[in-house]
Amino acid sequence: VILKFVLDEVRSGKEHGQMLMTKCNFRDLKKASMLYALCSMLFVCGFAANAAPAAEDFITRDVAVIRVMDKAAGRARTLHAPVGVRTEWEKLEILVRACRDTQPFAAHDSFMFVEIAKRATPAAPRIRIFSGWMTASAPGDNPLQDAEYDLWLTRCE
C-alpha cells in the first residue's frame, strides 16, 4: 500500500511527488514500479488459484453409472443408480446423494457423492463401509476399500 502511494504521488507530480523525484533517481523508480507490478500479479494469481469451483461449473445428473465387482466370485456388473434411491446389489446397499458432470467445454469428469452400506446377512443390520466423493477420472483417489467388493463411478447420466 505504501509503495502504491509513493508511485501515485511520483506519477501525479504533486508537491510531495516532486520532492520524492529529487531524492530518487530513475533506476529506483523503475525498480519500484516493477516490484509493484510483480506484487499485484502474485496477489491476483494467488486468489485465482485458490478459488473453488462454483456450483454452476457442474451439471447435476439424475443417474450414476457404477461398476461393481465381487472379488471372490469374479463377477462384475454395471449398475444404474438413481440419485436419492437405494440400490441393492448382493450384500451392498448403495445410496447416491449427488452425481455431477463438468461443463461441456471443460475437461470431462464425473463426480458422485455416495453412501455404501453392507449387510452380513439379509436380517443383519447394515453397516456403513463408505461415505464420500468418487470421481470417474481417478477411481483410485477415494476408493471403496472392502475385502469383498470393488466399486467405482463410470459416468453420470
Quote the pLDDT of residue 112. Answer: 95
Stretch 89-95: mean pLDDT? 93
Beta pairing class for 75-82 and 63-70: antiparallel
What 3-state class would DSSP assign to 124? coil
Quote the pLDDT of residue 17. Answer: 46
Give the angle 90-95-97 at the CA atoms, nearest 5°: 160
For 114, residues 6+ apart whose C-beta sits below 8 A from its C-beta are 64, 66, 94, 95, 96, 97, 130, 131, 132, 134, 153
Residues 64, 86: contact at Cβ < 8 Å? Answer: no
Quote the pLDDT of residue 157. Answer: 93
CA 98 vs. chain centroid, Å, equals 14
* Phi, psi of 3, rounded to the nearest 5 degrees: -65, -40
Helix axes 15-23, 2-12, angle to 10 degrees: 100
Helical ranges in the chain per DSSP H: 2-12, 15-23, 26-50
Residues 82, 156: contact at Cβ < 8 Å? Answer: no
Q: Tens digit of pLDDT for each residue in 58-88?
A: 999 999 999 999 999 999 999 999 999 999 9
With cell 506484487, the residue in question is 39
Quote the pLDDT of residue 67. Answer: 94
Q: Tens digit of pLDDT for each residue in 111-155?
A: 999 999 998 887 889 999 999 999 999 988 888 888 999 999 999
Q: Tens digit of pLDDT for each residue in 16-57?
A: 445 444 455 556 556 656 666 655 664 555 544 444 455 568
